[in-house]
């Protein structure tokens, strides 16, 4: 029997695309206890209509609660479609799938449409670091023309997959229309809007000139500095000065008889009056010791800042885990409340049925005493019931 409809709604999915020559994956959204969802509907009975949609949970800066970004793939812009089975998912996909998967490979004529809630201020910004990484991935996705969507194997039969491929290759599919697919009704009626996830705009020249210089990276004492790595900005001058002074000291202690080397002294030494060689060496040693002391103090300060940063980072991770735990507890409580409401509704319906039955019995008792017509009707009903049972054997 030929397939004419495909309806797969909100199934767990993961995404893959190519960016700058390497494979990129998006499998875990924010919050991490949710999942990326993929919806595909295709109907050729009432009209050649289709929708391909990916929902990625994320937290926007404009609103603290969890929301989502929708990626809509218009069937008009799908140039080709193919599929394959992955029996051993890659490490990036094992966080979402621990079984074989079906890979849906889309080739597009135009990039994917990105939909966000109307209340989000553009440019779109994330509420925290994890959502920011997801937003960066979606920026890449919004610019590519090839996409792979992974779902659990066997959710779509082979006939359905071949049917989807044939419909796309014939280029006869169009997007669904109607209120169910109107973006103004998305996000619980709040509405959605299309947006372009462009990279953050760099600051203007005047603003960049007024900004403070960047904080130097933490200095790790255990890791030896390589010659190719430039020293931090606040230590470069000191290290250069130290090397300069050491070279001057070495040159001052080994002068040749033919030609005396000319020492490249710092500004304060060049301007000083000529002095005895021993005094010069003593001054250079004192300055060298002072510079080394400054370097040591800067190193200690950097180590303290690094420890403080690591402590804050651990605290931030702990708070994120507590927040996710609270979200999971809220979901459990909400599910428990829904179950309790359903049970309460069932109990109320049963009580209403019991009350109705008791009312019928009471009416029978009250009317059966004096109402001959009612008693006659009861006798007829009993007679018909007995006759029906006898007729049925």
pLDDT, tens only, 185-194: 888 888 999 9
| CA proximity to 110, closest of 131, 79, 88 | 79
Through-space distance between the first and last CA atoms of the chain, rounded to whole angstroms: 43
pLDDT higher than 90, residue 106: yes
**Predicted pLDDT at 77:** 93
Task: Considering only residues 344 and 159, tell me which one the structure prediction assigns the higher pLDDT.
Answer: 159
Structure confidence at residue 262 as a pLDDT band (50, 70, 90): very low
16: left (phi over 0), alpha (psi -120 to 50) or beta: beta
Q: How confident is the model at residue 261 (pLDDT cuts 50, 70, 90)?
A: very low
CA angle 383, 389, 391 (to 5 degrees): 100
C-alpha pair distances (Å), 251 with each of 256, 260, 285, 287: 10, 9, 14, 17
| Of the candidate ranges 197-201, 247-251, 255-259, the one whose mean pLDDT is the lowest | 255-259
Query: pLDDT: is 351 or 51 the higher one?
Result: 51
- Residue 207: the pLDDT is 52
CB 175 within 8 A of CB 75: yes
221 and 299 Cβ atoms separated by less than 8 Å: yes
Q: Which of 168-172, 221-225, 256-260, 296-300 has the lowest mean pLDDT?
A: 256-260
Give the per-residue pLDDT at 343: 82
Residue 76 has a pLDDT of: 92
Closest CA to 133 of 283, 293, 26: 26
Highest mean pLDDT: which range of 5-9, 46-50, 202-206: 5-9
**Total number of residues shown for the chain:** 393
Summarised one tens digit per residue, pLDDT across range 82-96 is: 999 988 888 888 888
Distance CA(4)–CA(12), nearest Å, equals 24
Confidence bin at 51 (pLDDT 50/70/90): very high
Q: What is the rounded distance in angstroms from the CA atom of residue 10 to the CA atom of residue 42?
A: 14
Percent residues over pLDDT 70 in the chain:
79
CB 108 within 8 A of CB 148: no
- Distance between CA 70 and CA 208 in Å, rounded? 35
Question: Given this model, what pLDDT does residue 317 score?
Answer: 86
- Cα–Cα distance measured from residue 159 to residue 162, given in angstroms and rounded to the nearest whole number: 5
In angstroms, the CA 324 to CA 316 distance is 12
pLDDT of 263 reads 45
What's the mean per-residue pLDDT of the chain?
Answer: 80
Proportion of the chain above pLDDT 90, given as a percent:
30
Q: Are strands 49-58 and 174-175 parallel, antiparallel or unpaired?
A: parallel
> What is the pLDDT, as a whole number, of residue 81?
95
Question: According to the model, what pLDDT value does residue 265 have?
Answer: 47
Whole-number pLDDT of residue 289 = 87
């Amino acid at each position: 029997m030929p397939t004419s409809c495909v309806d797969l709604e909100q199934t767990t999915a993961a995404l893959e695309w190519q960016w700058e020559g390497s494979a990129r994956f998006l499998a875990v959204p924010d919050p991490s206890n949710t999942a990326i969802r993929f919806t595909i509907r295709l109907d050729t009975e009432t009209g050649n209509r289709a929708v391909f949609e990916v929902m990625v949970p994320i937290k926007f800066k404009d609103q603290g609660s969890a929301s989502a970004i929708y990626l809509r793939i218009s069937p008009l812009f799908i140039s080709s479609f193919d599929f394959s089975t992955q029996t051993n998912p890659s490490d990036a996909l094992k966080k979402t799938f621990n079984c074989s998967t079906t890979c849906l490979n889309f080739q597009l004529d135009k990039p994917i449409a990105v939909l966000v809630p109307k209340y989000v201020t553009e440019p779109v910004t994330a509420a925290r670091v994890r959502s920011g990484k997801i937003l960066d991935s979606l920026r890449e996705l919004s610019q590519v023309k090839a996409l792979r969507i992974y779902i659990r194997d066997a959710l779509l039969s082979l006939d359905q997959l071949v049917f989807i491929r044939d419909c796309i290759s014939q280029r006869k599919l169009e997007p669904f229309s109607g209120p169910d697919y109107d973006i103004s009704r998305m996000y619980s009626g709040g509405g959605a809007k299309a947006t372009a996830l462009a990279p953050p705009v760099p600051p203007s020249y005047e603003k960049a000139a007024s900004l403070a210089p960047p904080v130097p990276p933490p200095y790790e004492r255990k890791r030896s500095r390589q010659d190719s790595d430039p020293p931090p900005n606040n230590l470069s001058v000191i290290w250069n000065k130290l090397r300069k002074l050491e070279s001057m000291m070495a040159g001052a202690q080994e002068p040749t008889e033919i030609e005396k080397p000319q020492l490249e002294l710092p500004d304060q030494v060049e301007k000083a009056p000529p002095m005895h060689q021993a005094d010069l060496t003593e001054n250079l040693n004192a300055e060298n010791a002072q510079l080394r002391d400054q370097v040591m103090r800067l190193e200690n300060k950097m180590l303290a800042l690094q420890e403080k940063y690591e402590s804050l980072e651990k605290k931030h991770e702990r708070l994120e885990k507590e927040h996710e735990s609270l979200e999971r507890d809220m979901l459990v409580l909400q599910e428990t409340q829904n179950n309790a409401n359903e049970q309460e509704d069932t109990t109320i319906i049963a009580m209403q049925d019991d009350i109705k039955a008791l009312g019928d019995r009471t009416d029978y008792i009250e009317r059966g005493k004096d109402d001959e017509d009612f008693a006659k009707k009861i006798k007829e009903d009993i007679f018909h019931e007995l006759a029906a049972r006898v007729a049925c054997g």
